[in-house]
A = this chain, B = another copy of it.
Amino acid sequence: MIERPHQHDEGRYLAPSTAHRALTGGPIAVAPTRGEAFVAAVRAGGGDVQPLDENTKGLVWLSETRSDELSDILQQHPGIEWLQLPWAGVDAFSSILNGLAGTNEQDRPVVTSAKGAYSEPVAEHALALLLATLRELPQKARAARWKDERTGLSLFGNRVLLVGAGGVARAFMDLLAPFHCEVTVVRRDPSQHMEGAAKTVGQDGWRELLPEIDAVVLAAAHTDSTRAMWAAPEFDALPQHAVFVNIARGPLVDTPALVSALKSGNIAGAGLDVTDPEPLPDGHPLFDIPECVITSHAADTPAMTRPLLAARVTHNTKAFLSGSPLRGVVSVEEGY
């Protein structure tokens, strides 16, 4: 089942970026391992897969740990016009990106990553945690007896605060649509209205709305302005039936404040795919709270992301060969 692709639309959750460098196209190498799924993905995009040599124009790089080797390859093959990196984060390649940033834009490859490609499984995980916390699944999974009282909340018609407006947030809105929720989106630029949301507000406009919010979903990047944005005052302002889901990054949340909000019953539950610190150490108080489920950064597993990375490779191969915009272009200057 794991590798069976659904009708994933590679363009749905990330706008294409235009590569500044003029690309001529040509043979594409898949390295340092052969990765049959990715060879097939290049071919599905019309690419001519050849071993790495002086004619190589495109390179699909499948290792996160062999970046020294990649650095050498790029220096020895200045004809490489397009480099596809694996996975969404490119931290492992920061020295290569720094090196490229110091060169003339026309003399370096266009670098693409998988950023934005894994929106669907991560958004799905957010919905799983949201429904689970509303329906009290964490405490019911822990309970070892039948519960006579029928409790739990429905998501239909709820007021959801969605923090973030990137690919994951967009995919989450799609999954949320049949539930007719009233969604408020928090994003840096509130003038860009999120399709399907009732309201789009900026970083300063959301705190006064908290008493009217039933569920919070964090899907924003970790930046200076989002760090610890959820602390004691924010948790205190939520109604006691509210649930809290974080599939973004642990440091967006002040962990002791979250522990305290859950323990005191100031919020009803939490579904956390990410924590601060991470991994959460054994014996951490969050593990002991029946209303909390922690999924250990598993919103997108390698098995889920593999076919989505393959779809990105196919898309970018087509784009590379036809001169149209590639997806997931990395800014070598900004390093992401």
Interface centre among A143, A150, A181, A288 (most CB of B within 10 A): A150
Chief secondary structure at chain A's binding surface: loop
Q: Is A209 an interface residue (CB 8 A)?
A: no
Q: Answer whether A150 and B297 are a contact pair too, CB < 8 Å, given A8-B156, A125-B135, A131-B127.
A: yes
Within 8 A of B (CB), among A138-158: 138-148, 150-158
Counting chain B CB atoms within 10 Å of each CB, which of A174, A214, A288, A294 scores highest?
A: A294
Q: How many copies of this kind of chain does the complex include? A: 2
Question: Closest approach, in angstroms, between the C-beta of A224 and any C-beta of chain B?
Answer: 27
Query: Which of A52-60, A61-69, A298-306 touches B?
Result: A298-306
Least Cβ–Cβ distance between A122 and chain B, in angstroms: 10
Contact-residue size bin, chain A (C-beta under 8 Å from the other chain): 35 or more
Are A301 and B151 in contact, CB atoms less than 8 angstroms apart? yes
Kindly list chain B residues whose C-beta atoms are within 8 Å of the C-beta of A294. 140, 146
Identify which of residues 95-148 in chain A touch chain B, using a CB-to-CB cut-off of 8 Å.
120-121, 124-125, 127-129, 131-132, 134-148
Option from B128, B139, B179 in Cβ contact (under 8 Å) with A124:
B179
| Residues on the B chain within 8 Å of A148, using CB | 279, 296
- A40 to chain B: closest CB distance in Å? 17
Which residues of the other chain, B, contact A279 by a CB distance below 8 angstroms?
146, 148
Given A1-B214, A177-B178: A137 touches B295 (CB 8 Å cut-off): yes
Q: Name the residue on B nearest A121 (C-beta).
A: B154
Q: Name the B residues within 8 Å of A278 (CB-CB).
A: 146
Docked complex: A269-327 residues within 8 A CB-CB of B: 278-282, 287-288, 293-298, 300-304
A73 within 8 A of B: no
* A interface residues with partner B (beta carbon < 8 Å): 1-2, 4-8, 120-121, 124-125, 127-129, 131-132, 134-148, 150-159, 174-175, 177-181, 214, 239, 241, 278-282, 287-288, 293-298, 300-304
